[in-house]
Amino acid sequence: MQQTLPAPRAMLGAGSTPAGRGRWALVRRLRQNRGAVVGFALLAVVIALALAAPLVTTHDPIKINPPARNLGPSPEHWMGTDQFGRDVFTRVVYGARISLPVGLIAVAIAAVVGTVLGLLAGYYGRLVDGAVMRVIDIMLAFPGILMALVVVAILGASLQNVMIAVGISEIPRYTRLVRGSVLSARENLYVDAARITGLRDAAILFRHILPNVVGPMVVLATLSVGSAILAAAGLSFLGLGAQPPRPEWGAMLADGRQFLGSHWWIATMPGFAIALTVLAINMAGDGLRDVLDPRLQSR
Amino acid sequence: MLAYILRRLAQAVVLVFVVATLVAAFIHLIPGDPVYVILGETNVTPERVAAVRAELGLDRPIPLQYAEWLAGLTRGDFGDSLTSGRPIGGDLLLRLPRTLELILVSTLLSVVIGVPLGVLAASYRNRAPDLAVSTFALIGVSAPVFVVGTLLLLLFGVLWGVLPATGYVAFGDDPARHLKHLILPSVTLATLETAIVLRMTRSSMLEVLAEDYVRTARAKGLDGRLVLYGHALRNALIPVLTIIGIQIGSALGGTVLVELIFNWPGLSSYLVTGINQRDYPVVQAVVLVIAALFILLNLLTDLVYAVVDPRIRYG
Total structural domains within chain B: 2
Over residues A55-70, mean pLDDT:
82
Q: How confident is the model at residue A23, as a pLDDT? A: 64
Confirm whether A58 is domain-assigned: no
Over residues B77-98, mean pLDDT:
87
> Do A238 and B19 lie within an 8 Å CB cutoff?
no
Question: Are B254 and B158 in a shared domain?
Answer: yes
For B227-266, write each residue's pLDDT tens digit.
777 777 877 887 787 778 878 887 888 888 899 889 899 9
For A64-97, write each residue's pLDDT tens digit.
888 878 888 888 788 888 888 888 888 999 989 9
Q: How confident is the model at residue A62, as a pLDDT? A: 82
Over residues B268-278, mean pLDDT:
85
CA A17 to chain centroid = 31
- B190 confidence band (pLDDT: 50, 70, 90): very high
Question: Are B225 and B278 in a shared domain?
Answer: yes
Question: Are B262 and B130 in a shared domain?
Answer: yes
Question: Are B30 and B173 in a shared domain?
Answer: no
Q: How confident is the model at residue B313, as a pLDDT? A: 59
User: What mean pLDDT is reported for chain B?
Assistant: 83
Confirm whether B173 is domain-assigned: yes
Question: Are B138 and B265 in a shared domain?
Answer: yes
For B196-238, write each residue's pLDDT tens digit.
889 888 888 888 877 788 788 878 877 777 777 777 787 788 7
Confirm whether A27 is domain-assigned: no
Q: What's the ipTM?
A: 0.80
- The three-class DSSP label of residue A272 is helix
Question: Are B201 and B107 in a shared domain?
Answer: yes
Confirm whether B136 is domain-assigned: yes
> Do A278 and B138 lie within an 8 Å CB cutoff?
no
Confirm whether B313 is domain-assigned: no
Confirm whether B272 is domain-assigned: yes
CB pairs under 8 A between A and B: 122
* Most A-contacting residue of B150, B208, B269 (CB-CB within 10 A), to test interface: B150
Q: How confident is the model at residue A274, as a pLDDT? A: 92
Confirm whether A24 is domain-assigned: no
Q: Of B125, B207, B290, which is closest to A142 when you measure between CB atoms?
A: B290
Confirm whether A91 is domain-assigned: yes
Question: Are B46 and B149 in a shared domain?
Answer: no
For A233-290, write each residue's pLDDT tens digit.
999 998 888 888 889 999 888 888 888 878 888 888 999 999 999 999 988 888 887 7
Q: Of B22, B250, B275, which is closest to A144 when you measure between CB atoms?
A: B250
Query: Is the confidence at residue A181, as pLDDT, over 60?
Result: yes
Question: Are B10 and B103 in a shared domain?
Answer: no
Percent of chain B with pLDDT over 90: 12
> Is B109 or B307 the better-scoring residue by pLDDT?
B109
Which residue, B168, B182, B151, B77, is CA-closest to A269?
Answer: B151
Distances in whole angstroms, Cα of residue B74 to Cα of each of B17, B68, B92, B295: 11, 10, 15, 19
Confirm whether A22 is domain-assigned: no
CATH label of the domain that carries residue A162: 1.10.3720.10
Span of B41-45, B128-132, B165-169, B243-247 with lowest mean pLDDT: B41-45
In A, minimum Cα distance to B12 occurs at: A141
Q: How confident is the model at residue B112, as a pLDDT? A: 93
- B76 confidence band (pLDDT: 50, 70, 90): confident
Q: How confident is the model at residue A44, as a pLDDT? A: 93
With an 8 Å Cβ cutoff, the interface of chain A facing chain B consists of 35, 137-138, 140-146, 149-150, 153-154, 156, 226, 230, 233-234, 237-240, 250, 253-254, 257, 260-261, 264, 267-268, 271-272, 274-275, 278-279, 282-283, 286, 298-299
> Do B18 and A268 lie within an 8 Å CB cutoff?
no
- The three-class DSSP label of residue A263 is coil
Percent of chain A with pLDDT over 90: 23
Q: Of B18, B203, B257, which is closest to A237 when you measure between CB atoms?
A: B257
Span of A12-16, A239-243, B35-39, B202-206 with lowest mean pLDDT: A12-16
User: What mean pLDDT is reported for chain A?
Assistant: 82
- Residues of A with CB below 8 A from B295's CB? 141
Confirm whether A25 is domain-assigned: no
Question: Are B163 and B272 in a shared domain?
Answer: yes
> Is B49 or B137 the better-scoring residue by pLDDT?
B137
* Most A-contacting residue of B18, B142, B148, B258 (CB-CB within 10 A), to test interface: B142
Total structural domains within chain A: 1
> Is A212 or A14 the better-scoring residue by pLDDT?
A212
For A107-121, write each residue's pLDDT tens digit.
999 999 999 999 999
Confirm whether A220 is domain-assigned: yes
Q: Of B146, B249, B254, which is closest to A237 when you measure between CB atoms?
A: B146
Query: Is the confidence at residue B94, as pLDDT, over 80?
Result: yes
Residue B58: domain span: 2-74
Q: DSSP secondary structure string, chain B?
A: -HHHHHHHHHHHHHHHHHHHHHHHHHHTTSSS-HHHHHHTTTS--HHHHHHHHHHHTTTS-HHHHHHHHHHHHHTT---B-TTT-SBHHHHHHHHHHHHHHHHHHHHHHHHHHHHHHHHHHHHTTTSHHHHHHHHHHHHHHHS-HHHHHHHHIIIIIIIS--S--S----TTT-HHHHHHHHHHHHHHHHHHHHHHHHHHHHHHHHHHHTSHHHHHHHHTT--HHIIIIIIIIHHHHHHHHHHHHHHHHHHHHHHHHHHHHTT--SHHHHHHHHHHTT-HHHHHHHHHHHHHHHHHHHHHHHHHHHHH-TT----
pTM: 0.82
CATH label of the domain that carries residue B243: 1.10.3720.10
- Residues of B with CB below 8 A from A173's CB? none
> Do A149 and B271 lie within an 8 Å CB cutoff?
yes
In B, minimum Cα distance to A235 occurs at: B257
Residue A139: domain span: 84-297
Query: Minimal Cα–Cα distance from B79 to chain A, Å?
Result: 20
Q: How confident is the model at residue B312, as a pLDDT? A: 60
In A, minimum Cα distance to B159 occurs at: A261
In whole angstroms, give the CA distance from residue A179 to residue A117: 8
Question: Are B132 and B270 in a shared domain?
Answer: yes
Over residues B4-14, mean pLDDT:
85
In A, minimum Cα distance to B201 occurs at: A298
Q: Of A142, A238, A283, which is closest to B138 when you measure between CB atoms?
A: A283
Confirm whether B83 is domain-assigned: no
Q: How confident is the model at residue A14, as a pLDDT? A: 39
